[in-house]
Amino acid sequence: DVRERTLVAIKPDGVQRRLVGQIIQRFEQRGFKLVGLKMLQASQDVLSEHYCNLRTKPFYNSLVRYMTSGPLVVMVWEGHNVVQTSRTMVGHTNPAQAQAGTVRGDFSIHVSRNVIHASDSVEGAQKEIQLWFQAKDLLDWNCWDQISTGE
Ligand code: DAT
Ligand code: MG
């Protein structure tokens, strides 16, 4: 499905470390289409929903503290198999196990500062996109190479 979408978020450490441009470049270069983008300071409410399956984990409170410590850049990317391919591009949750060439493998060393989030399933992506974006803020645009100029 070429309309498949996923949610990618650059975490506060990624913003602080000026990695926003390089991360966006990787997704553009791979061939995915950016359909939503915003910078925001996340609320505890949205994060507790976003990480609802981790509420019982010992690291949950420090995870929320980290994720609310500064601005995030939250994006929706679209394209064939984007959910799975994004996970591959992001790399293993623990940067120590993330391959070189992945975002985490290239830019991070510790699981609690792993730079980036990407949805882990198509259903999860749909939930996360609804949580972080209003439908009107997702743009369904066409590439210029598919449009005739009429000239
Ligand atoms: P992912 O972000 O790869 O989808 P996840 O959904 O299991 O991984 O966990 C969400 C985030 O929680 C993860 O990016 C970093 C943090 N986290 C996960 N496991 C952790 C651990 N053992 N110690 C500290 N933070 C952890
Ligand atoms: Mg996850």
**Banded model confidence at residue 47, pLDDT cuts 50, 70, 90:** very high
Residue 42 has pLDDT above 90, yes or no: yes
C-alpha 96 to ligand 1 mean position (Å): 13
Q: What is the 3 state secondary structure string of the chain?
A: CCCCEEEEEECHHHHHCCCHHHHHHHHHHHCCEEEEEEEECCCHHHHHHHCHHHCCCCCHHHHHHHHCCCCEEEEEEECCCHHHHHHHHHCCCCHHHCCECEHHHHHCCCHHHCCEEECCCHHHHHHHHHHHCCHHHCCCCCCHHHCCCCC
Catalytic residue among 50, 80, 92, 117: 117
pLDDT tens digits for 89-146?
999 999 999 999 999 999 999 999 999 999 999 999 999 999 999 999 999 998 877 6
Query: What number of other Cβ atoms are within 10 A of residue 147's Cβ?
Result: 9
Report pTM: 0.96
Ligand nearest to the CA of 128: 2
Average model confidence (pLDDT) for the chain? 96
150, pLDDT greater than 90: no
List binding-site positions.
Answer: 11, 59, 87, 93, 104, 114
Average pLDDT over residues 61-67: 98
For residues 19-47, one letter each, b for 16 or more C-beta atoms within 10 angstroms of the residue's C-beta and e for the rest, the string is: beeebbebbeeeebbebbbeeeebeeebb
Give 151's pLDDT tier (boundaries 50, 70, 90). Answer: confident
Q: Residue 148 pLDDT more than 90?
A: no
